[in-house]
Structure 1
Amino acid sequence: MIIKFFSMEDHWQIPVDGSHSINIFYYPSIDSTNTRAVSLAREGKPEWTVVFASEQTAGKGRINRIWWSPPDLGLWFSVILRPKIRVKSVNLLNLALALTIRSFIEKLVTEKLPENPPRIQVKWPNDILLEGKKICGILLESEITPQKIKYIVAGIGLNVNQGRDDFPADLSSRAISIKMVTGENYVIFRLLTQFLKYFYNDFNQLREKKFNYIVSEYENHLAFTNQYVEIHLQDKVIAGVQKGIDPAGNLVLSGSQGDVIVTAGDLWGFTEGNSDDSDH
């Protein structure tokens, strides 16, 4: 496959099986891949349309944060999904996305470190931690009616080629990249192709199984289980011991008044006196 890149936007396809391809819109620089992908979703672009950029100037993190996305150091992209699932199952889709990305990262680093693979966990609802530091974040934006999921845009930011000094000072102690673990520099476009093929196959297998067993698998890799955590909402903080995930994909905390079901929020975990609330 020969790929040519132009100054504003380029478009190519990655075949993933005999009859399907992933359509990619590439930008050398863009404000936000999620913003562009949402626009394409509203125009009716099909599932597995991807917006990918070498750099984001206003990448979106959760809770209106900016996702730090410097040129050519990570995978910064957004995928349009149009899942035919019940609306009430949308949280399970969120868990499935996190597990698919976690398993891909595990595959990459285990190939280089088979004797001593690092610990890779998910932080509810949709962050990936490698040795307790953030390596990947997921941001979902969607249009959902009571009867139907019209689209979900999954924005993914994966730290790939950063060294410790490449991170801003406020992130350097809390963030990590694949290179910092494996010692290898990765060709970003090649890694994107590798990831999207893996993502397509793994995610569709989970979807065919209707996300059965997704909660138990997610809990197997869940960070901060049986530890004190805080869930920061717009107007309050919910605190308690993290117990696990309920069948709908919500977080279960044990608090002073009994168990609390948390459907959304920003989780702060506390380890050795340091809060893990990083986003970039």
Structure 2
Amino acid sequence: MTVRWRTGAAGGERGRRPSWTALALFGVPVLAAVLGPWWGPSGPWTEGALPSQPPGAEHPLGTDVLGRDMLWLVLHGGASVLGGVLGALLIGMAGGVPLGLLAAGPRRGLDEAVMRALDLLLALPGLLVLMVLAVSGHRDWYWLVTAAGSLQVPAIARVVRGAVLAPGTRTVVEALRMQGHGWAYIHLRYLPRELAAPLATDTGSRFAVVLYLLASANFLGLGLPAASPDWAVLIERNSDALFTQPAAVLVPAGLLTALCVGGNLLVDHVLARQRSTR
């Protein structure tokens, strides 16, 4: 009996410890994206630099196929990656949360209309939408982020609707209405507290989805121009020099992978911690 108690306590302590591996994987690319533009070389061009030059004293990560310093490119390429993912998530939440609340209202016909309309958007393949935008000439960064964020609206609306229609939440909402509380009190005070946990969990999982979509679009040339220092663009741009200058491909690929894997591990850790405290 004593042994079991000690084992469970040790397991609980391990569940409450922060995942340092996840923090390191996630933190390195985030710090590179946030602090990179204010640190490192003064510019990408160096007199006498050769294309696809291997790492050396003058260029710690070598140069790319155009002769630009890879360290400068890597430190300046994370801003578009992180900013694009966060911007798309904000757009998705700005559209999905109100629509989910609207669908969860008392009017059954409005619920059906909203959800069936969102089902049409949910059926659209993400890369196909971005290809159509690229063909029509809408290749700017903000078009890419707006499209990626709009594609997340149906899924976020479903999460919000499901959370509001959960038996416990629905019972409390009906009780508040019977007590005379109005729409503002229920939707601006009570429901935000109830939606915080499921939305945070969904956002953590959706981070990897949006990152994959934006990185794929930039790798395929559907978004940012070829001269951009974006990590996905660097991978595509230097893919032919993989064996002569591997750092030009492996470093940005490693940062994208670390950002995605680290984010997933952090979400798993938070979910495991929530389960252990129940």
Max Rg structure: 2
| TM-score tier (shorter) | under 0.3
If asked which structure has higher relative contact order (CA below 8 Å, sep 6+), I would say 2
Q: What TM-score results when the alignment is normalised by the length of structure 2? A: 0.22
More strand by share: 1
Q: What TM-score results when the alignment is normalised by the length of structure 1? A: 0.22
More helix by share: 2
